Every structure is written in structure tokens, then in C-alpha cells.
Structure 1
Amino acid sequence: MSQQEGINVVEQNIIDRRTIKSFKKDPISAEVIIELLNVAKWAPNHKLTEPWRFQLYVDEGKEQFVQAYIDSQPKVDGEVPEKVNRKAQYFRDIPVHLVVIMPEDPRQRRWDEDYGAISSLIQNFQLAAWEREIGMIWRTNDWVYDPAFREAIDVLPGEKVVATLMIGYPKHIPEAQPRTDIRELITIINK
């Protein structure tokens, strides 16, 4: 990751970060994840509500996450489909799973502010991890809404799973995909 002329380290880290889907099996300690979350918590957070809680699945604890996924999937003739078993094995091979959960405040403005804060925290977490050469994918698959999955991982009524972050050292870093120049998307009002 070389630094481009005129771009500082923070800007370069934002540009270089990638979503990682292929991970090495090297472990990452719970303590490293906690250190990164302690950096990420400095996200903008209106009224300092800190609308987040986390469930960290590492080592043998990952099996609870994987089993919750399996239990949330439809069975075929009472059997777990091979496609589900393959995905479950993929999840087992990922070093760390972090579930990010927020309370769903019934007041729309607070809900929006909390969701913005928790999304900012996740982005901070991704960038801090990337600086340590740790990658991840932020997933919000259909199964995170399934009652079987939610119950199996102790997500309470009135809470939202904002992300399941699958974390590890990248086996492969994808190339950057083009992004639209903001000049094409901005309207400047100056009078």
C-alpha cells in the first residue's frame, strides 16, 4: 500500500480498505478485537447514547454462531442442504465473528441517530483493523432477521443486528472497484 502524493495516511487507509471474503486461518485474539473496538467507539454519537453491544465468537465459541446460522436455514426433507453445510464450513474457517447489535428506539429520530452512530463505529473498526492488516466483510444477510438465529445468539426483542462482521487476515485482497467522481453527484448551491 503505497501512499499517493498529497494524500495523508488516514485518507490512504480509507482509499485502500477492501471488503475481504477470503481469510487465512491465523487466529486473532479477543483482546485485539477489544482494542480495535475501543478505538472505534470514538465514532460520532449524538447525545453519547453509545447504542451498541457486541457478541464476539472466537475459537470453539464460533460453533454457536455457525449452528445459529444452520438452524435459521430451511431444511429439505428434514435435512440440512449441502449448500448450507458448505457455507457453515466457510464460517467455521473464518477466525472471528463479531455481531454488532443496537437497541431499536421507537422514536424515529433517535433510531436514525443511533443507526448512524453504530454504522460510523463499524467503519472506524474496519479502518483501525485494516491498519493492522486485518480485513473483514460486513454482512447483513436475510438470516440475521430469522427468529431462530436471533434467539440462538441471544438477540432480544427490540434489538437490531446491524452487522455480522467476519474477520481475519486476508488471504486475498481484491482490486479497487471504480467509484463515481463526486463532481458528477454534487449540486453546489452558492447563491
Structure 2
Amino acid sequence: MSIVKTIRERRSVKKGYKDDAVSTELIVELLNDAVWAPNHGLREPWRFIFVPTENKEAFIEQLIVTYPKDMHENRRNYFSQPAAFLVVVMKEDPRQKQWEEDFAATSALIQNFQLLAWERGLGVVWKTNPHNWDPKARQLMNVQPGEKVVGFLHLGYFDSEQIPDGRPRTPVEEKLTIM
């Protein structure tokens, strides 16, 4: 698949996941390529928490208790849809310039991961839900002070006939200033 085709055809897969397991081996392979994202000073500010398919149900049961009791069933249903999760965590540099460079690098890594996953038929949606900041959820995932959850990625194989349509983008000419 060409790079242009992959970029233009990749979609966030939010539902309709198959029951197929997502293997640790595949995630490691994809991450080993995704880490080639540009990152200033090669600081590599990221780390990863993978919840494979076989551990997902136990993880969900621990995660839902970080929510109010009346939301448990709703959150159980929501988190049960993907086959696996990948949490991308960034070390937070106290210096603003470095923090912004590291956040940009980590975001580029996530985009690389999404494109690589798409190429392999693995659907991904990058989530920034409230639990990313919740102290109880952070403790469950062993996210330390001075670390930021940049993305809680929902993963799963999908039926290629149910790929969401792409939404149009604004022509760049409408947003381009030439000096």
C-alpha cells in the first residue's frame, strides 16, 4: 500500500470489532516501527502499557471501579467492544519547550502506529477519555506523577465492508498563507 493511500484511507475504528485476538507479537512489531517518529534529541519520551485480548476482561473489571457505581455496566459494555488496549504514556518534562517537543513526538508515534496497524488490518481509535486523568485509573495502570497518558488506544480487527466513510477535509489552499 502506498503511503498516500494509507494516510487517506485510514479510519478510526470505533465499533464493529471482530472477536479475533490482538497478539503481543504484533503490537511489539508495530511499535518497533512506530518509534521511528521524529523526536527531538532522541529523548524517546514514551512508554507503553499493552492489555492483550486474553487479559482484557480482568483489566476492564479493575478499570470500571474507577467510575461511579451507576456507570459500571455502561463502561463495561463500552470497554468490552475492542479486542485489546494500548496505553501510550509520556514522561512530562517540566520545561515547556521540551514538553511540547515530547508531546508532538509522542503524537507522531501514535500516528505512525495507527498507519502501520491499518496496513495490517488492525483498527485503532485514539481515545482521550476522562479516565486518562483519573487518579484511580492512573494508579491501576501504574502511571506515575510526571507522566501523561497521551492516548488510550482501542484496538481490534474489523470487517473491511464496515469501514466508516472518510469525511472531507478543507482544501489546504484555504488555510495556507504564503509570505
TM-score with structure 1 length normalisation? Answer: 0.87
**Any unmatched runs of 5+ in structure 1?**
1-7, 75-79
Aligned to 2:117: 129
Cα RMSD (Å): 1.5
1:9 matched residue in structure 2: 2
SS at match of 1:26: coil
Measure, in 2, the Cα distance between the counterparts of 1:71 and 1:86.
12
User: More deviation in 140-149 or 58-67?
Assistant: 58-67
Shift of 1:178: 1.1
Distance 1:34 1:47 in 2: 23
Provide, for residues 56-98 of structure 1, a one-character-per-residue CA deviation record: whole Å limited to 9, x for no partner: 0013422353234312212xxxxx22x5413313323421100
Pick aligned residue for 1:154 from 126, 132, 142: 142
Q: 1:27 aligns with which of 1, 4, 21?
A: 21
Q: Paired residues, what number?
A: 176
5+ residue gaps, structure 2, are none
Separation in structure 2 between the aligned mates of residue 146 and residue 117 of structure 1, nearest angstrom: 24
1:120 matched to which residue of 2? 108
- Counterpart CA distance in 1 for 2:57 and 2:149 is 18
Structure with higher Rg: it is: 1
Task: Tell me the amino acid that sits aligned with residue 103 of structure 2.
Answer: Y
Q: Distance in 2 between matches of 1:157 and 1:15?
A: 37
C-alpha distance 166-125 of structure 1, shift in aligned 2 (>3 A): same
CA contact (8 A) 1:68 1:148 kept: no
- Checking the alignment, whether the CA contact within 8 Å between 1:28 and 1:168 is kept in structure 2 is yes
Contact 2:84–2:156, Cα closer than 8 Å, also in 1 = yes
**Shift of residue 17, structure 1, vs aligned partner:** 0.3
The answer to whether residue 97 in structure 2 is matched with residue 97 in structure 1 is no
Partners of 2:3 and 2:167 lie apart in 1 by 19
Q: Where does residue 5 of structure 1 map in the other structure?
A: none
**SS of equivalent to 1:168:** strand
Q: Secondary structure at the match of 1:53?
A: strand
SS in 1 for 2:103: helix
> Residues 28 and 96 of structure 1 are in contact (CA less than 8 Å); yes or no, is this contact kept in structure 2?
yes
For residues 187 and 68 of structure 1, what CA distance do their matches in structure 2 show?
49
Please point out which of 168, 171, 177 is paired with 1:178. Answer: 168
Aligned partner of 2:36 in structure 1 is 42
Q: Give the letter aligned to residue 42 of structure 1.
A: W
Structure 2 residue matching 1:54: 3-state secondary structure:
strand
Cα distance in 1 for partners of 2:32, 2:45 equals: 14
